């Protein structure tokens, strides 16, 4: 027998037994309307569902054809047009699309692709090729029993569906600044949205728009579905294409492909190098060597010259010996002699006068010094880094003043960055997110340790005499959602454990759940992976149902919880970040004083924790007051150095200028020693004030 015939026969037999539907070119699966879907309630528009019709597509004419051209222009083929939808269906489709189209309307090619999917499902004359009805129910319309469709499968080529999704995924809603698909992907939001989730949400009759359930099946190239089903694949407009000459392509804001290509920056020419060495160093060395050589050369030559001269002198002693003649004395020699004489006599008189009235001179000098130092009363020393390093007239300072006056002071930041370099990373097979790499610091025991540490810091307390009670974090913290009367859980503390609302129980929670027929355990890692993608969510998509919001009510963006990651691979982050934000009270208020004291306690505790040998973290930390502390510390260190060096200089001057005849021999040596010592100390002081370590 002919093998093709055998195959066809088998196919027909199989179909007669298992599939009553004909999937064939030019055949419909459903046609016309069969009333409301009884399983759908609370829909925005009446959920009208179609009737089963597994016959040939119908030719269109007149008003019907006109409507098709209006609603589904991509299916319009002039007079020869056939379709699987009635005029009423076209009207219903039009109403339904009118509700979804506006959010995508900024990008015409996306709208076109979106409409295309629904037109193909409803009207394509080859409908039966990609639609497979899976659920129906019997209705009686005008005394006739009809079968209405309540669920069908739509087979789409994966490439077709992905390209349709890609054309829409960057379209924005200007009112919120967010993405349009975030409203079309249900709980997944825009970050976790993908083609399948986008279509699933649209095909879910619970979304308020879809009249029936559509089970979208995405089929890869070269994959056979069987039963004569052929996945749909039609023309898709890329978002940088204009769908018609009157339409413009989508803007760069809504479509990445439309953005102008920015030429990559010219790479840096790199540091100046000569061979393998630093160029500047080489040039300096050459100059230095040149100068040294010429200096030494000069010394040698001049010595040689002098030697020769003295030899000559010896030889011609008698010839050379002669008087200095008057005409050899030049004008400049005379002038310098006169100046020296004049200054000499002036200073001699000055010295004599001072020496003969010692008491008066000292008194007058003292008064002059005191009067001139009177300005010290107005001196204001500051250690506030803001005032220290920005000029009061600078733009930044003015903007800060404006911000402080119109909004509020920017909060004080106390931060700890924790790493665990000895912990090895690992891979985690997430039921929901697939295989993910986790860094070593993201392990449960370390996160529990972080939680414990954070709890200890949150519990810091100290007694204040001024207030007359114990002060804790809530008295000084930045509490954005309850600024007037905050409790401890209103304080802005950002860390990874806030994804679990600082609850050990939430962190330890585990549950078995089933996704796409696969059952597995989900735990804190799945919740974490969800939250880094949707930090604004109040409920994750795992069966744990945990919120991602911090206990003080604000979202914790992933860059506030972890650090040291590439791209957006937050799960591979090397560090955990723990941030306590305190209110920025006005300086010279009690609140400011208390905040400083809280920060001191914070630093004490952190230092104690760092010294603890059982600590599993390596970390760095800072408090808002740290910078000021450091300035104070270095200033205090510098003061004695300056005092000593000035004292040494004065002693040196006094000794060097005085003439102590009895100590003359001692003096010569002490002059040199003291002088050198003074220079050394002054040098050290200058260097250390410039920030060098001596
Ligand atoms: C239906 O299928 C046939 C054969 O594959 C094709 O020529 C025709 O264009 C299709 N019709 C539509 C509207 O896609
Ligand atoms: C099409 O739907 C029928 C039920 O109506 C089902 O038995 C069949 O498996 C479906 N075809 C495919 C390919 O899933
Ligand atoms: C609907 O009625 C037909 C007979 O008209 C019957 O074969 C079919 O099983 C019924 N379907 C349902 C869902 O009750
Ligand atoms: C799928 O097929 C289309 C055309 O037949 C081709 O352009 C595309 O590259 C294929 N995709 C894959 C993933 O093979
Ligand atoms: C759209 O972008 C693709 C690449 O993203 C490019 O190949 C294509 O030429 C662009 N089309 C138009 C009409 O600009
Ligand atoms: C995880 O790490 C392995 C090996 O370093 C790498 O091959 C793989 O691509 C990573 N997986 C992900 C999801 O980043
Ligand atoms: C999940 O199922 C596995 C195997 O069926 C079981 O070992 C585990 O204890 C279950 N976990 C929870 C949280 O129920
Ligand atoms: C450090 O880790 C070890 C082993 O996991 C644990 O026993 C210890 O308590 C941890 N240290 C602290 C300070 O929690």
At 596-614, the pLDDT tens digits run 999 999 999 999 999 999 9
User: If 0-12 CB within 10 Å is exposed, 13-18 middle and 19+ buried, where does residue 419 land?
Assistant: buried
Separation of 198 CA from ligand 2 center, angstroms? 23
**Ligand 4 interacting residues, C-beta cut-off 6 A:** 159, 221
Nearest to 73 by CA among 12, 35, 121, 116: 116
Q: Is the dihedral of CA 444, 447, 449, 455 positive or negative?
A: negative
Q: How confident is the model at residue 12 (pLDDT cuts 50, 70, 90)?
A: very low
Index of the ligand 6 atom closest to the CA of residue 437:
1
Our answer on whether the CB atom of 133 is closer than 6 Å to any ligand 2 atom is yes
Residue 515 β-bridge partners? 518
Q: How confident is the model at residue 316 (pLDDT cuts 50, 70, 90)?
A: low
Q: What is the per-residue pLDDT across 109-168, written as a single tens digit (0 to 9) for each?
A: 999 999 999 999 999 999 999 999 999 988 888 888 889 999 999 999 999 999 999 999
The answer on pLDDT for 219 being more than 90 is yes
Index of the ligand 2 atom closest to the CA of residue 18:
7
Our answer on whether the CB atom of 223 is closer than 6 Å to any ligand 2 atom is no
Q: How confident is the model at residue 43 (pLDDT cuts 50, 70, 90)?
A: confident
Index of the ligand 5 atom closest to the CA of residue 238:
1
Dig out the tokens for 680 from the structure: 């050394």
pLDDT for the residue 569: 87
* 8 A C-beta contact, residue 449 and residue 435: no
The answer on pLDDT for 263 being more than 60 is yes
SS3 content of the chain, % helix, strand, coil (to 5): 50, 15, 35
Q: What is the mean pLDDT of residues 338-357?
A: 92
Dig out the tokens for 546 from the structure: 């945990």
Question: Rounded to whole angstroms, how far apart are CA atoms 375 and 143?
Answer: 108
Q: For ligand 2, atom 6, which residue shows the shortest CA distance?
A: 134
- Within 253-328, residue ranges assigned H as helices are 279-315, 317-320
Helix (H, G, I), strand (E, B) or coil at 131: strand
Index of the ligand 3 atom closest to the CA of residue 147:
1
The answer on pLDDT for 364 being more than 50 is yes
pLDDT for the residue 7: 44
Q: How confident is the model at residue 72 (pLDDT cuts 50, 70, 90)?
A: very high
**Ligand 1 interacting residues, C-beta cut-off 6 A:** 25, 75, 124-126
Q: Residues of 145-156 as b/e, b for ≥16 C-beta within 10 angstroms?
A: ebebbbbbbbbb
Q: What is the dihedral of CA 287, 291, 297, 303, to 10 degrees?
A: 180
Dig out the tokens for 225 from the structure: 């579905």
* 8 A C-beta contact, residue 216 and residue 199: yes
Nearest to 210 by CA among 220, 200, 219, 218: 200
Which of 169, 247, 257 gets mutated to test ligand 5 (max ligand atoms within 8 A of its CB)? 257
Separation of 432 CA from ligand 7 center, angstroms? 17
The answer on pLDDT for 677 being more than 50 is yes
Among all bound ligands, the one having the nearest atom to the CA of 34 is 3
Q: Residues of 222-260 as b/e, b for ≥16 C-beta within 10 angstroms?
A: eeeeeebbbbbbbebbbbbbebeeeeebbeeebbeebee
- Within 124-174, residue ranges assigned H as helices are 127-130, 158-168
Q: What is the DSSP letter of 76?
A: -
- E strand or H helix at 172: strand 172-173
Our answer on whether the CB atom of 422 is closer than 6 Å to any ligand 3 atom is no
Q: Which are the contacts of 423, defined by CB distance < 8 A and separation ≥ 6?
A: 439, 440, 441, 443, 446, 616
Tell if the pTM clears 0.75, that is, is over it: no
Question: Rounded to whole angstroms, how far apart are CA atoms 260 and 114?
Answer: 25
Q: What is the per-residue pLDDT across 505-520, written as a single tens digit (0 to 9) for each?
A: 999 999 999 887 889 9
Question: Rounded to whole angstroms, how far apart are CA atoms 12 and 5?
Answer: 10
* 8 A C-beta contact, residue 457 and residue 605: yes
Separation of 535 CA from ligand 6 center, angstroms? 24
Q: For ligand 3, atom 13, which residue shows the shortest CA distance?
A: 137
pLDDT for the residue 322: 55
Nearest to 444 by CA among 510, 540, 519: 510
Question: Rounded to whole angstroms, how far apart are CA atoms 529 and 525?
Answer: 6
178: left (phi over 0), alpha (psi -120 to 50) or beta: beta
Separation of 508 CA from ligand 7 center, angstroms? 14
Which of 68, 125, 126 gets mutated to test ligand 1 (max ligand atoms within 8 A of its CB)? 126
Question: Rounded to whole angstroms, how far apart are CA atoms 46 and 32?
Answer: 15
Among all bound ligands, the one having the nearest atom to the CA of 223 is 4
Among all bound ligands, the one having the nearest atom to the CA of 569 is 6
pLDDT for the residue 664: 56
Q: How confident is the model at residue 289 (pLDDT cuts 50, 70, 90)?
A: very high
Our answer on whether the CB atom of 149 is closer than 6 Å to any ligand 2 atom is no
Q: For ligand 1, atom 4, which residue shows the shortest CA distance?
A: 25
Question: Rounded to whole angstroms, how far apart are CA atoms 276 and 270?
Answer: 13
- E strand or H helix at 66: helix 62-71
* 8 A C-beta contact, residue 638 and residue 622: no
Q: What is the mean pLDDT of residues 524-533?
A: 90
The answer on pLDDT for 205 being more than 60 is yes
Dig out the tokens for 38 from the structure: 């009884």
The answer on pLDDT for 222 being more than 90 is no
Q: How confident is the model at residue 523 (pLDDT cuts 50, 70, 90)?
A: very high
Q: For ligand 8, atom 14, which residue shows the shortest CA distance?
A: 449
pLDDT for the residue 515: 80
Our answer on whether the CB atom of 241 is closer than 6 Å to any ligand 5 atom is yes
pLDDT for the residue 670: 54
Our answer on whether the CB atom of 257 is closer than 6 Å to any ligand 5 atom is yes
Q: What is the mean pLDDT of residues 189-197?
A: 86
| Residue that the structure tokens 């004030």 belong to | 689
pLDDT for the residue 388: 84
Q: What are the C-alpha distances in Å from 452 to residues 178, 573, 617? A: 37, 21, 13
* 8 A C-beta contact, residue 306 and residue 312: no
Q: What is the per-residue pLDDT across 386-418, written as a single tens digit (0 to 9) for each?
A: 888 888 899 999 999 999 889 888 889 999 999
**Ligand 7 interacting residues, C-beta cut-off 6 A:** 510-512, 521
* Percentage, residues of the chain above pLDDT 70: 89
Q: How confident is the model at residue 675 (pLDDT cuts 50, 70, 90)?
A: low
Q: Give residue 648's Cα distance to chain centre.
A: 53
First to last CA, the chain: 101
Index of the ligand 2 atom closest to the CA of residue 20:
5
Our answer on whether the CB atom of 140 is closer than 6 Å to any ligand 3 atom is no
pLDDT for the residue 626: 92
Q: For ligand 1, atom 9, which residue shows the shortest CA distance?
A: 126
* 8 A C-beta contact, residue 212 and residue 51: no
The answer on pLDDT for 2 being more than 70 is no
Q: For ligand 4, atom 2, which residue shows the shortest CA distance?
A: 221
Which of 170, 240, 245 gets mutated to test ligand 5 (max ligand atoms within 8 A of its CB)? 240
Q: For ligand 8, atom 7, which residue shows the shortest CA distance?
A: 614
* 8 A C-beta contact, residue 655 and residue 665: no
Q: What is the per-residue pLDDT across 426-476, written as a single tens digit (0 to 9) for each?
A: 999 998 888 999 999 999 999 999 999 999 999 999 999 999 999 999 999
Q: What is the mean pLDDT of residues 558-564?
A: 92
Question: Rounded to whole angstroms, how far apart are CA atoms 329 and 308?
Answer: 26
* 8 A C-beta contact, residue 110 and residue 241: no
Separation of 28 CA from ligand 1 center, angstroms? 13
Q: Which are the contacts of 371, defined by CB distance < 8 A and separation ≥ 6?
A: none
Which has the higher per-residue pLDDT, 506 or 309? 506
Pairing of β 144-157 and β 213-219: parallel
Q: What is the per-residue pLDDT across 575-598, written as a single tens digit (0 to 9) for each?
A: 999 999 999 888 889 999 999 999
Index of the ligand 8 atom closest to the CA of residue 615:
13
pLDDT for the residue 681: 53
Separation of 542 CA from ligand 7 center, angstroms? 15
- Within 279-433, residue ranges assigned H as helices are 279-315, 317-320, 331-356, 358-372, 385-389, 395-406
Q: How confident is the model at residue 314 (pLDDT cuts 50, 70, 90)?
A: low
Question: Rounded to whole angstroms, how far apart are CA atoms 178 and 173?
Answer: 6
Nearest to 565 by CA among 419, 367, 404: 419
Q: How confident is the model at residue 3 (pLDDT cuts 50, 70, 90)?
A: very low
Among all bound ligands, the one having the nearest atom to the CA of 134 is 2
- Tell me how crowded residue 220 is: count the other CB atoms within 10 A of its CB: 9
| Residue that the structure tokens 């005029």 belong to | 87
Dig out the tokens for 467 from the structure: 């207030």
Helix (H, G, I), strand (E, B) or coil at 311: helix
- Tell me how crowded residue 76 is: count the other CB atoms within 10 A of its CB: 15
Question: Rounded to whole angstroms, how far apart are CA atoms 425 and 611?
Answer: 26
pLDDT for the residue 671: 52
The answer on pLDDT for 679 being more than 60 is no
Q: What is the per-residue pLDDT across 614-673, written as a single tens digit (0 to 9) for each?
A: 999 999 999 999 999 998 898 889 888 999 999 998 888 877 776 555 555 445 555 555
Q: Which are the contacts of 685, defined by CB distance < 8 A and separation ≥ 6?
A: 638, 641, 642, 645
Q: Give residue 125's Cα distance to chain centre.
A: 51
- φ, ψ (nearest 5 deg) of residue 98: -60, -30
């Amino acid at each position: 027998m002919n093998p093709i015939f055998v195959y066809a026969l088998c196919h027909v037999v199989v179909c007669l037994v298992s599939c009553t539907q004909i999937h064939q070119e030019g055949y419909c699966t459903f046609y016309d309307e069969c009333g409301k879907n009884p399983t759908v309630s609370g829909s925005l528009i009446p959920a009208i569902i179609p009737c089963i019709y597994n016959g040939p597509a119908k030719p269109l004419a007149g008003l019907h054809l006109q409507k098709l051209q209006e609603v589904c222009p991509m299916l319009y083929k002039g007079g020869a047009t056939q379709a699987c939808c009635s005029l009423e269906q076209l009207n219903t489709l039009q109403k339904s699309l009118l509700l979804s189209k506006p959010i995508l309307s900024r990008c015409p090619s996306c709208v076109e692709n979106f409409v295309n999917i629904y037109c193909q499902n409803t009207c394509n004359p080859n409908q039966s090729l990609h639609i497979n009805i899976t659920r129906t129910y019997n209705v009686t319309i005008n005394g006739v029993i009809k079968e209405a469709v309540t669920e069908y499968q739509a087979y789409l080529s994966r490439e077709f569906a992905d390209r349709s999704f890609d054309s829409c995924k960057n379209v924005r809603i200007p009112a919120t600044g967010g993405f349009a698909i975030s409203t079309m992907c249900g709980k997944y939001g825009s970050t976790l949205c993908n083609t399948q989730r986008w279509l699933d949400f649209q095909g879910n009759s619970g979304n308020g728009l879809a009249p029936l359930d559509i089970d979208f099946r995405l089929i890869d190239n070269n994959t056979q579905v069987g039963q004569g089903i052929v996945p749909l694949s039609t023309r898709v407009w890329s978002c940088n294409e204009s769908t018609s000459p009157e339409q413009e392509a989508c803007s760069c804001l809504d479509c990445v492909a439309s953005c102008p290509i920015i030429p990559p920056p010219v790479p840096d020419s790199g540091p100046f190098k000569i061979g393998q060495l630093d160029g500047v160093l080489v040039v300096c060395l050459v100059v230095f060597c040149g100068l040294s050589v010429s200096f030494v050369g000069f010394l040698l030559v001049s010595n040689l010259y002098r030697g020769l001269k003295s030899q000559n002198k010896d030889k011609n002693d008698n010839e050379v010996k002669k008087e200095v003649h008057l005409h050899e004395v030049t004008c400049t020699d005379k002038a310098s002699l006169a100046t020296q004489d004049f200054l000499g006599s002036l200073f001699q008189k000055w010295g004599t006068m001072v020496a003969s009235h010692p008491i008066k001179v000292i008194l007058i000098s003292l008064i002059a010094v005191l009067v001139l130092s009177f300005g010290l009363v107005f001196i204001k020393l500051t250690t506030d880094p803001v005032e220290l390093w920005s000029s009061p007239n600078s733009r930044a300072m003015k903007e800060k003043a404006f911000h402080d006056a119109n909004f509020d002071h920017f909060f004080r930041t106390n931060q700890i960055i924790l790493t665990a370099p000895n912990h090895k990373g690992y891979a985690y097979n997430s039921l929901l997110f697939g295989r993910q790499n986790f860094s070593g610091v993201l392990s449960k025991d370390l996160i529990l340790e972080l939680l414990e540490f954070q709890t200890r810091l949150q519990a810091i307390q100290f007694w204040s005499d001024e207030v007359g009670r114990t002060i804790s974090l809530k008295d000084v913290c930045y509490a954005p959602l309850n600024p007037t009367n905050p409790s401890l859980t209103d304080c802005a503390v950002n860390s990874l454990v806030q994804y679990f609302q600082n609850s050990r129980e939430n962190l330890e929670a585990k549950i078995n759940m089933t996704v796409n027929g696969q059952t597995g355990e989900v735990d804190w890692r799945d919740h974490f992976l969800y939250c880094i993608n949707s930090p604004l969510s109040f409920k994750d998509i795992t069966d744990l149902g945990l919120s991602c919001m911090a206990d003080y009510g604000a979202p914790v963006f992933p860059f506030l919880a972890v650090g040291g990651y590439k791209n957006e691979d937050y799960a591979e982050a090397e560090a955990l970040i723990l941030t306590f934000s305190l209110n920025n009270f006005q300086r010279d208020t009690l609140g400011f004083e208390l905040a400083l004291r809280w920060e001191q306690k914070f630093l004490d505790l952190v230092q104690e924790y760092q010294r603890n040998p059982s600590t599993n973290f390596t970390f760095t930390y800072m408090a808002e007051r740290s910078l000021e502390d450091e300035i104070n510390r270095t200033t205090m260190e510098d003061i004695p150095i300056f005092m000593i060096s000035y004292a040494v200089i004065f002693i040196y001057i006094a000794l060097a200028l005085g003439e102590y005849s009895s100590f003359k021999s001692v003096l010569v040596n002490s002059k040199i020693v003291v002088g050198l010592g003074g220079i050394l100390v002054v040098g050290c002081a200058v260097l250390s004030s410039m920030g060098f370590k001596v």
